[in-house]
Amino acid sequence: MRISNSNLYYRDVFLGHHAAGLALSRMEPKLSLGWWVGAALWPDLLWAVFLYTGCEQVRVEPGATAVTPLDFARYPWSHSLLMMAVWATLAAGAGWLVARRKRAAVGLAVAVFSHWALDALSHRPDLPLWPRGPLVGLGLWNYRAATVALEAGLFLAAAALYLRRTRATGAVGGWAAWAYLGFVALIAVGSWFGPPPPDRGAIVATGLAAWLFPVWAGWFDERRQPLAQTNSSSTGA
Ligand SMILES: [Zn+2]
């Protein structure tokens, strides 16, 4: 597995998924941002594991769409609509176990489904409805400017909402949050305008490294506290 110098190879929606995690986190402040980012990224986190183990396939194909140089050849377990229902149900169970709140359970399920919705909007028709089932995808990735405008807009709005909704309780909660937002934005720019990944190994390595994002988000979120909670703050455990 070889990684070249510029290893900012993340070729799925990415920025939009981080935006979904940041935005949905307001549904239930009892759940750390790490859970929300983890749920919104979940199919891609699994995808990296399934690529690594060989159950799913991807090929580097420059020009596959205007935005991504990847051919998502086979990814029924991480990305079919049917499996999304399974992952969303498990996410809801995790949300309930951790926070004991209906909004946490429903919210994490919505975060998982938001991934499929954003992917279905962006991908060419390569997302299976169920394993070996029909493929769907609306193909926004054929239009680079529209993709960049949509994802950047969603991300900036979600980041602004999160930063306004929470306040750092110390230095780490400030700089670590800004570093996360900046790093995520940098990777997105690299993936839109940088060279294609040299090989499948680089995609897998980047995808596995993405498991650190939920950890990072949970780390700084614990060092921030919600401001002006309007509801659901009354029943702290
Ligand atoms: Zn995806």
Number of CB atoms found within 10 A of residue 116's CB: 20
Q: Report the pLDDT value the prediction gives residue 191, as an integer from 0 to 100.
A: 87
Give the chain's mean pLDDT: 91
Average pLDDT over residues 4-19: 69
Q: pTM score, two decimals?
A: 0.91
Centre of ligand 1 to C-alpha 69, Å, is 15
Task: Quickly state the pLDDT bin for 3 (edges 50, 70, 90).
Answer: very low
pLDDT in tens, 218-227: 999 999 999 8
Centre of ligand 1 to C-alpha 114, Å, is 10
User: Is residue 153 predicted with pLDDT exceeding 80?
Assistant: yes
Centre of ligand 1 to C-alpha 138, Å, is 14
Q: Report the pLDDT value the prediction gives residue 9, as an integer from 0 to 100.
A: 56
Q: Report the pLDDT value the prediction gives residue 4, as an integer from 0 to 100.
A: 39
pLDDT in tens, 79-119: 999 999 999 999 999 999 999 999 999 999 999 999 999 99
CB burial of residue 104 (10 Å; 0-12, 13-18, 19+): buried
User: Is residue 1 predicted with pLDDT exceeding 60?
Assistant: no
Return the domain boundaries, the chain. 15-223
